[in-house]
Amino acid sequence: MKNVLIAVLVSATLAGCASIVNDDTDKITVTSNSDKSFTAMVDGKTFTVPGSVSISRDGEEKVVTTSEPGCAPNTPVEKKMDNAFIGNVVTGGPFGSTTDYSSGKMWDYQSNVTIPCTK
C-alpha cells in the first residue's frame, strides 16, 4: 500500500498541470511591418508598437486593435493548447483537465504578433 501511495504522489508531482505551472498572464511581443511607432490595444491594455504587453491567460479570443492609418485595425492573437494540459489529461484525469479548461490556463497565446501595415 505504501508503494502505491508513493507512486501516486510522484505521478501527481511530475504531472504537467497547466493551472499550477502557468502564470495568470502571457507576454506577447507586437510589431508591424512598417517603420512606424504607434499605439495599439489588446485585452484592455494600451501599449506602443513595437513593444510587449501581458495578456490574461483566460482562454478568451484576443485581438490587437489599432486606429493607425494604413494598418490593419484588428489583428488576431492565435492560441494553441499548452503541453502541460496534454500531460494533465494523461496523468490528472478529468479533475485536473477540467480545472485547466475552466481557468483558461490550458491555452498558450502566440508570442509574436505582427500587425500588417501598408508601407
The predicted-structure confidence for 32-42, as pLDDT tens digits, reads as follows 999 989 999 99
CA distance 8 to 88: 14
Question: Where does the chain show beta strands of DSSP type E?
Answer: 25-32, 38-42, 45-49, 51-56, 62-65, 74-77, 79-81, 107-109, 112-115
Q: State the distance between the two ends of the chain, measured CA to CA, in whole angstroms.
A: 69
pTM (global) more than 0.85 = no
Residues of the chain above pLDDT 90, percent: 48
Among the listed ranges 26-35, 89-98, 109-118, which one has the minimum average pLDDT value? 89-98
In the prediction, which pLDDT does 2 show?
64
CA distance 44 to 47: 10
